[in-house]
Amino acid sequence: MVNWEYSESVESQEIVNIKEKYQNFINGKFQQPNSKKYINTISPSTEEVLSKIVISNEKDVDNAVQSAQLGFEKWSNTSPHERSKHLFKLARLIQERSREFAVLESMDGGKPIKESRDFDLPQVAANFFYFAGWADKIDLSWGAKSLKPHGVVGQIIPWNFPLLMLAWKVAPALATGNTVVLKPAETTSLTALLFAELCEQAGLPDGVVNIITGDGTTGSLIVNHKDINKIAFTGSTQVGKLIQKSLAGRDVGLTLELGGKAANIVYEDAAIDQAVEGVVNGIFFNQGHVCCAGSRLLLQESIHDEFVAKLEKRMQTLRVGNPLDKNTDIGAINSKEQLNKIEGLVNEGVSDGGKIFQTECELPGNGFWFKPTLFTDVQPSYSIAREEIFGPVLTTLTFRTPQEAVEIANNTEYGLSAGVWTEKGSKILWTADRLQAGVVWANTFNKFDPSSPFGGYKESGFGREGGRQGLLSYLKAES
């Protein structure tokens, strides 16, 4: 028999209960915002309007910060053991309601359900469990009671892993005794708002977690609020620089997790079939909306043709379509704006002289979609080899020797992550030592664990999230 087509296997949306419009979550309850400005939040796979969220104004931000200040008085005096219990409770509730969160994440953000179900949600719960365990061990761990929470932390998170980035930010902040004002991205606020319900359900003290929606203007109001003690931002390098400028001269803590253009180096002595898989996972995971995506494939010249042939064949099997279909590998591009950016850079790549390969696949009529794309014949000077595309687009460069591989890999303003593929252990160590990147994966890619610190070199940011180092981002030394 030929042409065995997988029938649709669509995850039911019934478990999700989306409100017609959302308020801000301040001081332990949803509150009528001062701002009258609402925007639609849509599903990027259907363009259907899911709900309305408010663009919070100065008064709303002020309310949230005040609530967090009041919350801080209680929370910082809550015993570490009690804080730990609250975090464990949140972790367990996330597990209990994980299917609901996963479906909502895929509807609102466009990522395939198999990823929100098998990656995002398990990681979200793992982060809360991990930092719940830390909450009552911090004093012991650094030997003296010299570390104090910042106070009110403003947290601004991106749209690529909406709930997971919330977990990366909220869990360590609460574990260390801070309170938060969190603003999700304007295209993906719904899971954060569902998390707010969870905070109510968990009986978290009022004012400890405050969630307000809005766009860049709201983000800037948070950054510039006089009573904010620390800002934690994940997003573009461009916005990161603006934040750093506005905070200059103020006693406000800052950690930035920004863009990337990671090199994925494949040596000729790699296990080729597994390297192909790793390269595919490195760039096409989450539609390539990943700051640490392996977006620059560095191939040793001797295996270029064989590798590219295998890679193109494998890419052809990627299933692009409805994010709620359990067999979908690549979902929708998060927004029209992002789709335009990807298309612009890809067109530049073609006119620069890059050779483009795109898989043959039918794209749905509505929604925002981009075919898995591979560029070969690319020179390091092309914009597709230098700029972060943040989409399902892989750029191939070649090298002759390990020295040259490292030079090309480091020839970028970014330094968030990198990958090395070889069966030779000594070569892995030699290469990893020389790569200027916060995370180096060897013979794998895109692996995360709450205990492993994550963060950038150069223009990819500073500060670490995750692990013991991640706690320090939310503490300051007091003599």
Partner 1 sequence: MNNKTAALGIKWEDILELVFDSRIDSVGLNERVDSLATRSIKKESKLDALNMIVSMCDLTTLEGEDTEGKISQMVAKAITPDPSNLDIKNVAAVCVYPSLVSIAKEKVGNSGVKVAAVSSYFPSGQVPMESKLLDTKYAIDSGADEIDIVINRKAFLEGDYRKVYDEIVALKEACGDVHLKTILEVGDLKTYENIRKASLISLAAGSDFIKTSTGKLSVGSSRQACYVMAKAVLDFKNLTGVSAGIKVAGGIRDSKDAIRYLVLINEEMGDEWLTPDLFRFGASSLLDDVLKQIKKLKTGAYQASYYFPRG
- Which residues sit at the interface with partner 1, rule CB under 8 A? 1-9, 114, 118, 269-275, 277-278, 317, 326-327, 423, 443-444
CB of 232 to partner 1, least distance (A): 31
Helix spans in 317-447 (H): 336-352, 383-386, 402-410, 425-434
**Cβ(258)–Cβ(456) under 8 Å?**
yes
Beta bridge partner(s), residue 419: 264, 441
Beta bridge partner(s), residue 298: 265, 397
The helix/strand/coil state of 183 is strand
Q: 15 vs 49, which CB is nearer to partner 1?
A: 15
CB of 38 to partner 1, least distance (A): 37
Give the up-direction half-sphere exposure of residue 255: CA atoms within 13 A in the CB hemisphere. Answer: 25
Q: 112 vs 158, which CB is nearer to partner 1?
A: 112
Give the up-direction half-sphere exposure of residue 344: CA atoms within 13 A in the CB hemisphere. Answer: 10
Among candidate residues 11, 115, 199, 291, the one labeled active-site is 291
Q: Which residues of 166-179 are buried (b: 16+ CB within 10 A; e: fewer)?
A: bbbbbbbbbbbbbb
Q: 236 vs 281, which CB is nearer to partner 1?
A: 281
CB of 314 to partner 1, least distance (A): 9
Separation between Cα atoms, residue 78 and residue 181, nearest integer Å: 19
DSSP string computed for 3-54: --PPPP-BPPSTT----SB--EEETTEEE--S---EEEEE-TTT--EEEEEE
Q: 5 vs 251, which CB is nearer to partner 1?
A: 5
Decide if 199 is catalytic: no
Decide if 292 is catalytic: no
- Two structure tokens written together for 225: 């609020």
CB of 325 to partner 1, least distance (A): 8
What angle do helix axes 190-202 and 80-96 make, rounded to 10 degrees? 120
CB of 349 to partner 1, least distance (A): 28
Q: 251 vs 360, which CB is nearer to partner 1?
A: 360
Q: 199 vs 275, which CB is nearer to partner 1?
A: 275
Among candidate residues 105, 115, 186, 257, the one labeled active-site is 257
CB of 160 to partner 1, least distance (A): 20
The helix/strand/coil state of 392 is coil
Q: Which residues are catalytic?
A: 257, 291
